[in-house]
């Protein structure tokens, strides 16, 4: 999917999400576990405002589990409940309902106190492209699509999906834009497949990946490419990887484009094991990157 965000698109996306927000009791904000901050919309707090929210840290299977735990604690420190999930395999989904009821307990208790019979909780999913919104909806759907909105004359009726007895989910998610004007965020979005490589230079993306791996996961970098050490000179590093993996041109010269492509694909395909890229906030700047 090509993502080209322009101010007009952003304004429209925001308007659509804001409209849908009026229909729900709680928002499930989906983020990518490898980049829980970089995969968030920069204006999410402003958009959601006072609405109850649960952050779902998706693709937890691809992220460093120790870091994911830290991320849950980080969001909870900010007063937002968060749950790691794997929408692809359906891991952690049962918890969503339980935690949702906890978050909404006060509101529901107040309704009951006023004599209002509790109805199903209404929820919607929001998130940037590729974060797993459709996968999650499909996982939750089973065969429970409630076609309630097909009223003649209503062109864009909202449909609700029944999730268990106590919850209804809007069948279309709210799509928000990531913040990729920040170069580092851009690289992280590209490495996790949230934005197309063509938006950035592939060699730059691969260089960022190598620097990151060297700083945080050097053992995994060495083991993936059979290196006994990581050469200080980055050109030598590419050459060593290229020779090991055979990304060569005629005459045995290392093809830098092919090597860059290989590195980026290896990151995306979890060949270095599960990785978390957003570490700056967690480490609070006390990790010195090697230059
Ligand atoms: P959307 O654009 O937010 O609706 O994202 P999709 O639901 O289309 O998912 C994007 C890609 O991520 C698809 O290839 C999914 O199979 C994959 N995906 C979604 N959730 C998970 C997950 O928890 N783990 C893994 N490994 N892949 C996932």
Domain boundaries along the sequence of the chain? 7-170, 201-289
pLDDT at 286 over 70: no
Could you tell me the distance, in angstroms and rounded to a whole number, from the CA of residue 86 to the centre of ligand 1? 9
**Residue 3, pLDDT score:** 54
CB 169 within 8 A of CB 123: yes
Which is more confident, 85 or 116? 85
Q: For residue 33, which atom of ligand 1 is closest to its CA?
A: 23
Pick the CATH number of 7-170 from 3.30.930.10, 3.40.50.11540, 3.40.50.300, 3.40.50.150: 3.40.50.300
pTM for the predicted model, two decimal places = 0.90
What would the two tokens of residue 166 be?
A: 């106590």
**Residue 288, pLDDT score:** 43
* 3-7 average pLDDT score: 67
Left, alpha or beta for 200 (phi > 0: left; psi -120 to 50: alpha)?
beta
Establish whether domains 7-170 and 201-289 are of one fold: no
Residue 60 assigned ligand-binding role: yes
Could you tell me the distance, in angstroms and rounded to a whole number, from the CA of residue 136 to the centre of ligand 1? 8
CA 176 from chain centre, in angstroms, equals: 12
Could you tell me the distance, in angstroms and rounded to a whole number, from the CA of residue 172 to the centre of ligand 1? 15
Tell me, which fold does domain 201-289 have in CATH? Conserved Hypothetical Protein Ylqf; Chain: A; domain 2 (1.10.1580)
CA 146 from chain centre, in angstroms, equals: 27
Instruction: Please provide the average confidence, as pLDDT, over all residues in the chain.
Output: 89
Question: Please, which pLDDT band fits residue 156 given cuts at 50, 70 and 90?
Answer: low
**Residue 141, pLDDT score:** 81
């Amino acid at each position: 999917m090509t993502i080209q965000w322009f101010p007009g698109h952003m304004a429209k996306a925001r308007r659509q999400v804001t409209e849908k927000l009026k229909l729900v009791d709680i928002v499930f904000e989906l983020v990518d576990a490898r980049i829980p901050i970089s995969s968030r919309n920069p204006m999410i707090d402003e958009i959601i405002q006072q609405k109850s929210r649960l952050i779902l840290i998706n693709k937890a299977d691809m992220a460093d589990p120790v870091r994911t735990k830290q991320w849950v604690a980080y969001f909870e420190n900010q007063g937002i409940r968060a749950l790691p999930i794997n929408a692809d395999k359906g891991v952690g989904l049962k918890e969503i309902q339980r935690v949702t009821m906890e978050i909404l307990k006060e509101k529901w208790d107040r309704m009951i106190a006023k004599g209002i019979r509790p109805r199903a909780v209404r929820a919607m999913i929001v998130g940037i492209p590729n974060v797993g919104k459709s996968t999650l909806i499909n996982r939750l759907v089973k065969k429970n699509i409630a076609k309630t909105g097909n009223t003649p004359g209503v062109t864009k009726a909202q449909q609700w999906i029944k999730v268990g007895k106590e919850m209804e989910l809007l069948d279309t998610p709210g799509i928000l834009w990531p913040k990729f004007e920040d170069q580092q965020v851009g690289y992280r979005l590209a490495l996790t497949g949230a934005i197309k490589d063509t938006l950035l230079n592939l060699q730059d993306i691969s260089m960022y990946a190598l620097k990151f791996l060297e700083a945080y996961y050097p053992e995994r970098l060495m083991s993936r490419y059979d290196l006994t050490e990581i050469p200080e000179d980055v050109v030598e590093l590419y050459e060593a990887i290229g020779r090991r993996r055979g990304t060569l041109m005629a005459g045995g010269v290392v093809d830098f484009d092919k090597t860059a492509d290989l590195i980026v694909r290896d990151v995306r395909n979890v060949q270095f094991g599960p990785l978390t890229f957003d570490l700056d906030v967690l480490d609070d700047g006390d990790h010195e990157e090697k230059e």
